[in-house]
Structure 1
Amino acid sequence: MIKKLVVAAALSVAFSTPGFADMAYAPAELSTETGALDVYQRIQTAAERTCDDRLNHDSVIKYHKVRDRCVSDVVDELVHKVNDPRLDKIHNERTGA
């Protein structure tokens, strides 16, 4: 079974239309550390892609902090939606939580 996650990514007041991050994973992938790490990396990539799509290239530099916050928020939400202890551990290690 493949699960697909979709979350809204609100970038800031200046960018009031949310983007949407989506990615798919098989729950069986979360049964190993390696599989959970792969899912986490795909979450990170989906978050970056979503946030970059919402910001044009000129504003990526100007709004670097907005982009970083967007990516962080999207990753947090996707990890939360998966709700897996291995993925939570990886996320907490990466974010220092």
Structure 2
Amino acid sequence: MRLVAMLRLVAMLRLVAMLRLVAMLRLDAMLRLVARLRLVLLATGYCFLRLVLLATGYFCLRLIPFPLSTSLLIYIHRLVFFYLLIALPNDWLFLNQRLVDLLLLR
């Protein structure tokens, strides 16, 4: 029981660290990372998220031509990131490693 609680705590700390990294990204880097994350998830077989990922990606890309402020766009993309990270399955070790790899390759 303690091991499960400890693993959940580690997963939540990693999630907070990832969200802090995401908050530091510029808008163009965030868009690139959204595209890469979507490709990684599609390639690794997260089939149940395909429609959600495609829909959020389309939604974000459709917002860009409109005269929205940059801060609003950044806020929307952070919400999308938060939703994607929370909605993912509990395969934290693999997914966190892939996200760290993607962040380091940007």
Same fold per TM (> 0.5)? no
Q: Per residue, is there more helix in 1 or in 2?
A: 2
Q: Per residue, is there more strand in 1 or in 2?
A: 1
Structure with the bigger RCO (C-alpha within 8 Å, sep 6+) is 2
- TM, length-normalised to structure 1: 0.35
Decide which structure has the larger Cα Rg and report it: 2
